[in-house]
Every structure is written in C-alpha cells, then in structure tokens.
Amino acid sequence: MTSTQSDNLPLWVQDRDKVIAASADVEWRYQTPPDYSRSKENLAQESVCNHIEGSLEAIVQNLVRTFEMEVSFKSNPEQWLAVVSDKFRVSTNGGAEYTAADLSAQGTYNLFMADSEHYKASQESFESSAKIFHTTFPQGFPWEVLEVFSGPPNVAFKWRHWGHFKGAYQAYTPTGETVEIVGMSIARVTDDLKIISVEHYFDNMLFLEKLTAAGKQTNSETKGSACPFSSWFQKFRKS
C-alpha cells in the first residue's frame, strides 16, 4: 500500500501526529496537545519491527498508539476517535471490564495493574500514576506491535512496551536497565476500525518485580535524585 493509499484510511489508523493536527476544539488534559518528537526518536533507534506503511501491522500499531494518546491527553472520552466511546470496554488478564469514562478518570496504569504489593492503584489518581511512571522512565516508555495474528473484526496481536529504568520507581533504586513488557491483546473493532472492546494479557507482576529488584534508595540517593526528575515532570507532556 502506497502513502497515498494510506491517507485514504480512517484518520485514527494513520500516524497519531495527523490525529493530533486534525483535533480541533479538543479538551486537552494539560491544555495543549502532546509532543511526540522524543518518542519518535526512541522508536527510530530501538524498535525491533519496521512495519510497511499500510500493512495490517502498521494499521493496528497506529490505532493503538492513537488510542493511547487519546486516553492520556484528551480529557473528554466523547472526543476519542479510536473507540466507540459509548460501547467501549477494556479488561486486563480476564479481570473487570472498564468503560471509556473509567479510563479517562483513573488512567491506564491504575486500571491495568490494580492493587499489589508494589503498586497501590486504589491510592493513585490519574495524575499521580502518570507522574510515577514518567519519573521511572524519563526517556519515555515506547510501544510497538510485534505480530498480528488475525485481522478485523477480532484483531489478535502481540506487542512490546519498553523503557530505560533511569529514574527512581517510588522509593526504589533505578538500575539503568531496559525494562520490557511483552503481551498480547484482542481488540474487537467496527467496519471502520474503531475499537469496541480490547482484552490485554501480560505479566504485570514481573514488570513491578523488575522495578523493585534493587531495593529502596538510601536517604542520600533520594536527595540527590529528587530535583532532576521533579523538574523533568513539569514538562512530561512531551512524550
């Protein structure tokens, strides 16, 4: 499929920057649109897949990236293009189903990971959970599709999330290593490729174990690292 043919696809399965550019009168969570320039640099350097434009893999990847952008930065789910907002449901590892309104209010980290020894979703807000993980991965937390197993209307795909653990995770010492999550999802979509529902499957406990493996920071480490990450978070909308 050529670039011209790709432009004929629905906007929400094209590059998310095109979605952002075409988003007029949007209620942005942080008042202004996100800037994905740093994310693009990371993806160019560290992606393991280079999907052909217009391929099923590229379409699925663009759809999920648009969805992630809208959840993170568009505060009104009625303005999300990637989903059927009044029907949308999402679940993780066979757990409870959540609506678009739930996602908008609580955020993906809180709904996808819930309460555990190393993360208390019930005690975090959308903003505080975002701050925790933006601090943990100050260079970003990119996402890509690895493989698509079936096409619409039930799209099954394997994906990869990764980041460089260079900021403290809550009180735990950063190791500098690349932390990777590999998972699978099944998305039910409409004829025009909007998401009706999506089921995610991944080992969130393994992810948190990697973030806590080095133990808690000493007082001197905490004082030395607090300022840089605090100032970085003030600009965290640059993703």
Tell me which amino acid residue 138 is. P
How many other CB atoms are there within 10 angstroms of residue 88's CB atom? Answer: 23
Confidence of residue 38 (pLDDT cuts 50, 70, 90): confident
pLDDT tops 60 at residue 40: yes
Per-residue model confidence (pLDDT) at position 222: 55
DSSP string, 40-60: HHHHHHH-S--PPTTSHHHHH
Parallel/antiparallel/unpaired status of strands 143-150 and 89-92: unpaired
Give me the sign of the Cα torsion angle 86, 87, 91, 97.
positive
3 state SS of 129:
helix
This prediction has a pTM of 0.87
> What DSSP string describes 135-198?
HH-TT---EEEEEEEE-TTEEEEEEEEEEE--S-BTTBPP--PEEEEEEEEEEEE-TT--EEEE
Give the mean pLDDT of the chain.
Answer: 90
Nearest CA among 53, 74, 60 for reference residue 13: 60
Give per-residue pLDDT as tens, 149-179. 999 999 999 999 999 999 999 999 999 999 9
- 3-class secondary structure, 26: coil
Residue 17's pLDDT is: 96
Q: Which fold has domain 3-233?
A: Nuclear Transport Factor 2; Chain: A, (3.10.450)
**For the chain, which residues make up each domain, given as ranges?**
3-233
Q: What are 182-230's pLDDT values in tens digits?
A: 999 999 999 999 999 999 999 989 999 999 999 998 765 555 444 433 3
pLDDT of residue 228: 39
Region of 215 please: left (phi>0), alpha (psi -120 to 50) or beta: left
- Residue 8 has what pLDDT? 86
Helix (H/G/I), strand (E/B), else coil: 23 = coil
- Give percent of the chain above pLDDT 90: 81
pLDDT for the residue numbered 230: 38
| The pLDDT of residue 238 | 53
DSSP string computed for 1-20: --HHHHHTS-GGGS-HHHHH
